[in-house]
Amino acid sequence: MKAIKVLVNILFYGIIALALAIVLGFALGYKAKTVLTNSMEPNIKVASVVVIKPESFDNLKVNDVINFYRGGNDITFTHRIYEIDYEAGTIITKGDNNTNIDPFVTSKEQVVGKVLFSIPYVGYLINFIKSYIIYIVLITLSILMFSKGIKMAKELKKEAKK
């Protein structure tokens, strides 16, 4: 029973810490996106989460990995800067795993920011949580209630012995 209580506490405080980190990151303008393709492998794996920092176009340089909008559906890509034209405000990108440069030019307005780091495979967990959030909440609440019920039963047993 003590192991369950420790597990519940770890889960509870872990969720609080993660929520605080996310809120702080969003407050500072950071974003997180899930990588859906293998175009950046082996450096960034499929289903990695990339953390993106807003960056001025003038501070970007060749070989930086950036996240940028492509298309009108809020779809973003994460690729490496292959060539940059500061005067025209355009970037040519290429996925590390692709043989050719991207067949489009990215304008500075399309840049979300510079990728700071990636966390491999976390995208699988995020997709799982999104798909099963109700079940996860119900299981977590059940564990908490079960733990509380056991504690109450022990207290009642102690009082009955008196």
Transcribe 25-77 into DSSP letters.
HHHTT-EEEE--SSTTTTTS-TTPEEEEE---GGG--TT-EEEEE-SSSS-EE
Pairing of strands 106-107, 49-53: unpaired
User: Could you give the angle at which helices 2-27 and 122-161 cross, rounded to 10 degrees?
Assistant: 140
State yes or no: pLDDT of 24 exceeds 70. Answer: yes
State yes or no: pLDDT of 122 exceeds 70. Answer: yes
The three-point CA angle 130-116-102 to 5° equals 85
Q: Residue 143's pLDDT band (boundaries 50, 70, 90)?
A: confident
pLDDT on residue 69 = 93
Residue 99 and residue 28 in contact, taking contact as beta carbons nearer than 8 Å: no
Residue 52 and residue 114 in contact, taking contact as beta carbons nearer than 8 Å: yes
pLDDT on residue 156 = 75
State yes or no: pLDDT of 59 exceeds 90. Answer: yes
Chosen CATH of 2-155 out of 3.40.50.1370, 3.40.1390.10, 2.10.109.10, 2.40.30.10: 2.10.109.10
pLDDT on residue 162 = 67
pTM (whole model) above 0.75? no
Rg of the chain over Cα atoms, rounded to whole angstroms, equals: 23
Question: Which has more pLDDT, 37 or 158?
Answer: 37
